[in-house]
Every structure is written in C-alpha cells, then in structure tokens.
Amino acid sequence: MKLLGRSPPSMPAGSQAPVEVLRYSVRRGRQLIATFAQRSDAGNWTRDYSNITDTNSTFIIHTADEILCAFRDGSEVEVP
C-alpha cells in the first residue's frame, strides 16, 4: 500500500546487509529439506541427518545445474 503525498524513506548508502546465496539444496525425493551456501556445510549436515534422523531415505545434494552427491544412512551412495 502506498501513501499519497509521502515518499518512501531512503536508505543510507552501504547500510544493506550482504545477502548470502544458498546454492546447495538437499532433497528427499521431490521434497526440499534444506539449503546451504557452502557445499561442505550441505555435505556435513546431510551426512549427519541421514544417519541420525532418517536412515531409510536417500538425500540428494544438488545445485540448480547438477546433482552432486547422495547420502543414505550416513554414507555416500550412488546418485539414483
């Protein structure tokens, strides 16, 4: 909603916080489970999650362009 007669407040130069790009996604089937900015964080989290929380599912780590790896029961498995 825009108020008539008022301009939006201006932001001082350089006051915007840096935006972190979450390039690495983790999926279980078609369901998005998590996203990460760094591949190492995605791998560590997925390895632990697949070992502790859901040992029967395969979790796939991928970017927008390619599938990188998959984990099941805490171990890396062949990508389906």
The answer to whether the beta carbons of residues 48 and 73 sit under 8 Å apart is no
Q: How far apart are CA 39 and CA 29, in angstroms?
A: 19
Q: Which tens digit of pLDDT belongs to each residue from 28-72?
A: 989 999 999 999 999 999 999 998 888 889 999 999 999 999 999
At 1, the pLDDT band (50, 70, 90 cuts) reads: very low
**pTM confidence score:** 0.71
Nearest to 62 by CA among 19, 21, 34, 20: 34
- The pLDDT, as a whole number, for residue 19 is 63
* pLDDT of residue 3 exceeding 50: no
